[in-house]
Homo-oligomer: A and B are copies of this chain.
Amino acid sequence: LNFSSDNSYGVADEIMAAVVAANRGAAVSYGGDDWSTRVSARFAELFEHEVEVFLVPTGTAANALSVATLTPAHGAVFCHAESHIHLEECGACEFYALGARLVPVGGFAGRMTVPGLKAALARYPGIRHDLVPSALSLTQSTECGTVYPVDEIAALAGLAHENGLGVHMDGARFANAAAALGHAPADITWRAGIDILSFGATKNGAIAAEAVIVFDRARGRDLFHRRKRGGLLVSKTRFLAAQLEAYLADDLWLRLASHANAMAARLATGLASLPAVRLAWPVEANEVFPVLPCALAAKLRKSGAVFHDWTASGLAGTEHAPSPDECLVRMVTSFRTEAGDIDALIAAARRLAGGN
């Protein structure tokens, strides 16, 4: 009953098999191998667009490189206050962007709004003693388990472009969003105004493989050097590329994400049926954020369930804010979560909550 993180589970069998299969003969290192060539072509096909592809071993690296290439050191980068780049990457964006600033923007359920972004931009008019507004970073699916509709992405990206900003999408859980939206990858990225995408695979079944996808080549010019300089260019690139090749083959990425999403929906439905539990935010991807009595959370853990507490600061002032004896927790489902585990958790919660 482990719902702690999509990183806690292992690796999808197809991906591991591809890595094992790649261990054959000599191959050029540092990206000159056939796997890397093929996976770049595959990404171009998938996104219906010429792309530059930079493979890296972590999502933090993908985000930081992406943001860094969009901003000068004296730039201001707008992101959601709850976003991963703002709160959980130890300032990697500031490091790779050589001291640029992340400007937190609020918004319910992990989603920025156009008025919210406008207000934040108004604080950085770009007159001469200020930092220069340079980039917008959107997270899809969000840290709150929600998904931006395409028109919201387009509206935010449009506002950003009008103000001269480049637009990044943190897609650590891009597969979950794509599966939820059902649109073509192109429609929810460059056609909606995304200039550069962190395309995640690790949380959805890879060992350690993420891709920076550059839709506007002019923006990605120096990424080769930035990646190397960051110690992020692995030498035996074939093993990184092989993971992504398997991930993209036969829509594996979407199949894995759809399963995780379905498990989250099942979990959400079950939890919402309990009188003592309510959901902080709509469940649109593979994360569920129940507000529940702290006593119940403790009992569930004692019974073997694993999940993390979550900060309720994003709920402050809303109807969903926890009361003093309530807790907000996060439960994440993965490509490997089984329906039986969901049902067992719900049954345990019902038993432990109710006395019935």
**Residues of chain A at the chain B interface (Cβ within 8 Å):** 2, 4-5, 7-11, 16, 19-20, 22-30, 56-65, 72-74, 87-92, 94-96, 98-102, 122-123, 128-132, 202-203, 207-208, 222, 224-226, 228-236, 239-240, 306, 311, 313
A24 to B10, CA, bound (A): 6
A16 to B24, CA, bound (A): 12
CB distance from A182 to the nearest CB of B (A): 27
| Closest B residue to A240 using CB positions | B208
| Closest B residue to A88 using CB positions | B129
- The count of identical subunits is 4
Inter-subunit contact A5/B29 (CB<8 Å): yes
Inter-subunit contact A239/B28 (CB<8 Å): no
Among B8, B58, B65, B229, contact of A92 (Cβ-Cβ < 8 Å): B229
Given contacts A7-B236, A95-B99, 18 further A-B contacts (CB under 8 A): A10-B23, A10-B25, A11-B23, A16-B19, A19-B19, A57-B232, A58-B235, A60-B231, A72-B222, A74-B222, A89-B228, A90-B229, A91-B99, A96-B231, A101-B102, A128-B228, A203-B235, A230-B230
Inter-subunit contact A10/B236 (CB<8 Å): yes
In the complex, chain B residues whose CB is within 8 Å of the CB of A94:
94, 99-101
A58 to B30, CA, bound (A): 11
| Closest B residue to A13 using CB positions | B23
A128 to B23, CA, bound (A): 26
Inter-subunit contact A90/B131 (CB<8 Å): yes
In the complex, chain B residues whose CB is within 8 Å of the CB of A25:
10
| Closest B residue to A23 using CB positions | B10
